[in-house]
Amino acid sequence: MPLYEYRCRTCDETFELRRPMSESSAPAPCSSGHVDSVRLLSVFASVGASGAAAPSAPAPAARGGVCGSSCGCHH
């Protein structure tokens, strides 16, 4: 079952709930009982067997205009 992170809009508490994906957008009460919460975008970090962070791929080089070479909008 996934773990979701929420922030209470009333008291600004950040908390986590383990719940089914089908209930991810359902109201989530904070520890004070407020139900006006918003689900946050969680950040996932992958750690290798040695404990070091997994290497990340370099960002692709920008080509062309604002949108890149495959866009065709000619910015």
Which of helix, strand or coil describes residue 23?
Answer: helix
Q: pLDDT at position 65, please?
A: 52
Q: pLDDT at position 50, please?
A: 62
Q: Are 5 and 42 in contact (CB under 8 A)?
A: yes
Claim: this prediction has a pTM higher than 0.75 = no
Neighbours of 19 (CB within 10 A): 14
Q: pLDDT truncated to tens, each residue of the chain (75 aa)?
A: 899 999 999 999 999 999 999 998 898 999 999 999 999 987 766 677 665 555 555 555 555 555 555 555 554
Question: What is the signed CA dihedral for 26, 30, 34, 37, rounded to 10 degrees?
Answer: -50
How many Å separate Cα 75 from the centre of its chain? 30
